[in-house]
Amino acid sequence: MVKAVVGANWGDEGKGKITDMLASNADYIVRFQGGANAGHTIVNEYGKFALHTLPSGVFYNHTTSVIGNGVALNIPLLFKEIQSLVEKGVPMPKILVSDRAQMVMPYHILFDQYEEERLGKKSFGSTKSGIAPFYSDKYAKIGFQVSELFDEEGLKEKVERVVEQKNVMLEHMYHKPLIDAKKLLEALHEYRDMVAPFVADVSTILNNAIKENKTILLEGQLGTLKDTDHGIYPMVTSSSTLAAYGAIGAGIPPYEIKQIITVCKAYSSAVGAGAFVSEIFGDEADELRRRGGDGGEYGATTGRPRRMGWFDCVASKYGCRMQGTTDVAFTVLDVLGYLDEIPICVGYEIDGEVTTDFPVTHLLEKAKPVFEVLPGWKCDIRGIKEYDKLPENCRKYIEFIEEHIGYPITMISNGPGREDIIYR
Ligand code: GDP
């Protein structure tokens, strides 16, 4: 059985916690897209961890953690992450890296920085992890698959060819230091030695696992609104964040994905530039940011303060639909316990008309939020295990949102820990 855990919104919905929780009954946990540009925060008995490359299942010893072919793999960072786990006493996880995964090259990170510098005020707010240059090269067919590290002759020839092209850009467009092909090749030899013990034909392994009725979790990064095609283009990420892409990025048949758990946060947050209709500012935003998540809404990778907003039914309905949601996991609800009243964005007003359908980017930029206000529940709901024990106003908030997004909320997360979950 294959299940996907994906985000409905702009990312940071708490997918890491939900995956970590579901991983207790899973055999394989697979990252299928994205790179080390976003992070999952996980709290468990070993401590608090920010994972950027490893899937959230690395804390169990019954699971195998898989880096699928769709991932932008930064090998030195993967190694740092493995080391940091082992240093904190986590047993060495079982890790498989797809031989078809492509590698983030040192120059991808530099090009990401140079381009954001060049764009100045018009920059995308990139995390400068090299993701956009990486995927550009992948589709321009000048990327490097992990498998190529094991073909020395081919590697040497390709490094020289690619460096020649990159150096033209570095010299004439960015006026930056050039790449030395020999040094790059040496770095790739180091990458090869680091990754060699983990390289595998992941697609075959996962297909066999499906035949043996194993449980596979596909773990998405970011959320629908950051999808390259269906998100707020161009303020998106450079890979598909949708569950459907899980089939491609892991190398499994699409019809094997039976459950799609879309994670939706009880309020909104976003990082980077782009329209954010239900955004709030000033003291109201500061307070929600400070109380949000587990220790505040600041980026797990970058430490940047996140932009804050009220729950957005328009964006979330669309976000759930594009994912092909079977279940919604509604997270971080406990954080809202301080509010007397809670606004919910139920529509967008665009050119004088109200819609509940998520528009294309140029119309989204004109959209003004239409809010409805629900009463708060004014208490701490952490520790509650049954739906019926939640305060009435809290249940009303959940049911109001469920009705507006049109997908069943079957899990409610009321704290950062694995056990802080209410099944419905
Ligand atoms: P992800 O990228 O979707 O995994 O999300 P992040 O890890 O960036 O953000 C989720 C943050 O919220 C983390 O700090 C989690 O520990 C925390 N978190 C997850 N679920 C809950 C919850 O139900 N309540 C609270 N208070 N924090 C949560």
| CATH number of the CATH domain containing 379 | 3.90.170.10
Report the C-alpha gap between 237 and 35 in whole angstroms: 10
**Is the per-residue pLDDT at 41 higher than 80?**
no
Regarding whether 410 and 286 lie in a shared domain, the answer is yes
Helix (H, G, I), strand (E, B) or coil at 242: coil
Report the C-alpha gap between 404 and 397 in whole angstroms: 11
Bridge partners of 411, per DSSP, are 329, 423
Say how many Å lie between the CA of residue 150 and the centre of ligand 1: 39
Instruction: Report, as an integer, the average pLDDT of 405-421.
Output: 96
Report the C-alpha gap between 245 and 234 in whole angstroms: 19
Is residue 415, in this structure, part of any structural domain at all? yes
Regarding whether 148 and 10 lie in a shared domain, the answer is no
Pocket test for ligand 1, best of 19, 224, 332 (most atoms within 8 A of CB): 332
Regarding whether 172 and 309 lie in a shared domain, the answer is no
Q: Whose CA is nearest to atom 28 of ligand 1?
A: 416
**Is the per-residue pLDDT at 341 higher than 70?**
yes
Q: How many domains does the chain have?
A: 2
Contact predicate 4/261, CB 8 Å: yes
Regarding whether 398 and 288 lie in a shared domain, the answer is yes
Atom of ligand 1 nearest to the CA of 38: 2
Report the C-alpha gap between 367 and 363 in whole angstroms: 6
Say how many Å lie between the CA of residue 265 and the centre of ligand 1: 9
pLDDT band per the 50, 70, 90 thresholds, residue 404:
very high
pLDDT band per the 50, 70, 90 thresholds, residue 49:
confident
Pocket test for ligand 1, best of 17, 308, 422 (most atoms within 8 A of CB): 17
Count, residues in the chain: 424
Regarding whether 185 and 138 lie in a shared domain, the answer is yes
Regarding whether 118 and 63 lie in a shared domain, the answer is no
pLDDT tens figures, 286-296:
999 999 988 89
Contact predicate 12/221, CB 8 Å: no
SS (H, E, C) 258-327: EEEEEEEECCEEECCCCCCCCEECHHHHHHHHHHCCCCCCECCCCCCECEEECEEHHHHHHHHHHHCCCE
What is the chain's percent helix, strand, coil content, to nearest 5? 40, 25, 35
Q: Whose CA is nearest to atom 2 of ligand 1?
A: 12
Regarding whether 292 and 175 lie in a shared domain, the answer is no
Bridge partners of 409, per DSSP, are 328
Q: What is the pLDDT of residue 301?
A: 66
Is residue 303, in this structure, part of any structural domain at all? yes
Is residue 155, in this structure, part of any structural domain at all? yes
Is residue 20, in this structure, part of any structural domain at all? yes
Choose the weakest-confidence range: 9-13, 270-274, 404-408: 270-274
Instruction: Report, as an integer, the average pLDDT of 154-183.
Output: 96
Regarding whether 210 and 178 lie in a shared domain, the answer is no
Pick from 197, 215, 243: which residue ends a domain? 197
Pick from 136, 169, 197: which residue ends a domain? 197
Query: Helix crossing, 181-195 with 75-87: angle to 10°?
Result: 40
327-331 and 257-265 as β-strands: parallel, antiparallel, unpaired?
Answer: parallel
Regarding whether 345 and 401 lie in a shared domain, the answer is yes
CATH number assigned to the domain comprising residue 185: 1.10.300.10
Regarding whether 365 and 228 lie in a shared domain, the answer is yes
**Omega before 369 cis (within 30°)?**
no
Say how many Å lie between the CA of residue 415 and the centre of ligand 1: 8
Atom of ligand 1 nearest to the CA of 48: 16
Q: For residue 370, what are the CA distances in angstroms to 213, 318, 400?
A: 47, 16, 15
Report the C-alpha gap between 335 and 377 in whole angstroms: 11
pLDDT tens figures, 176-224:
999 999 999 999 999 999 999 999 999 999 999 999 999 999 999 999 9
Pocket test for ligand 1, best of 41, 262, 302 (most atoms within 8 A of CB): 41
Atom of ligand 1 nearest to the CA of 50: 7
Query: Helix crossing, 106-119 with 131-139: angle to 10°?
Result: 110
| DSSP at 196 | G
Question: Looking at the annotation, which residues are catalytic?
Answer: 12, 40
Q: Whose CA is nearest to atom 20 of ligand 1?
A: 416
Q: What is the DSSP string of 71-131?
A: BEE-HHHHHHHHHHHHHTTPPPPEEEEETTPEEPPHHHHHHHHHHHHHHGGG------SSH
Pick from 171, 197, 223: which residue ends a domain? 197
Is residue 92, in this structure, part of any structural domain at all? no
Regarding whether 230 and 138 lie in a shared domain, the answer is no
Is residue 293, in this structure, part of any structural domain at all? yes
Pocket of ligand 1 from Cβ distances under 6 Å: 7, 11-17, 38, 40-41, 43, 293-294, 300, 331-332, 334-335, 413-416, 420
Determine the longest span between alpha carbons in the chain, in angstroms.
68
Closest Cα to residue 26, out of 73, 69, 61?
Answer: 61
- Give the number of other CB atoms < 10 A from CB of residue 141: 6
Regarding whether 174 and 25 lie in a shared domain, the answer is no
Say how many Å lie between the CA of residue 145 and the centre of ligand 1: 32
| DSSP at 350 | E
Say how many Å lie between the CA of residue 217 and the centre of ligand 1: 18
Is residue 179, in this structure, part of any structural domain at all? yes
Atom of ligand 1 nearest to the CA of 420: 23
Residue 334, token pair as written in the block = 């406990």
Say how many Å lie between the CA of residue 204 and the centre of ligand 1: 33
Report the C-alpha gap between 30 and 34 in whole angstroms: 12
Report the C-alpha gap between 42 and 402 in whole angstroms: 26
Q: Over the chain, what is the mean pLDDT?
A: 94
Say how many Å lie between the CA of residue 52 and the centre of ligand 1: 14
Q: What is the pLDDT of residue 50?
A: 79
Bridge partners of 7, per DSSP, are 263
Is residue 97, in this structure, part of any structural domain at all? no
Q: Determine the structural domain holding residue 372 and report its residue range.
A: 2-87+203-423
**Is the per-residue pLDDT at 128 higher than 90?**
no
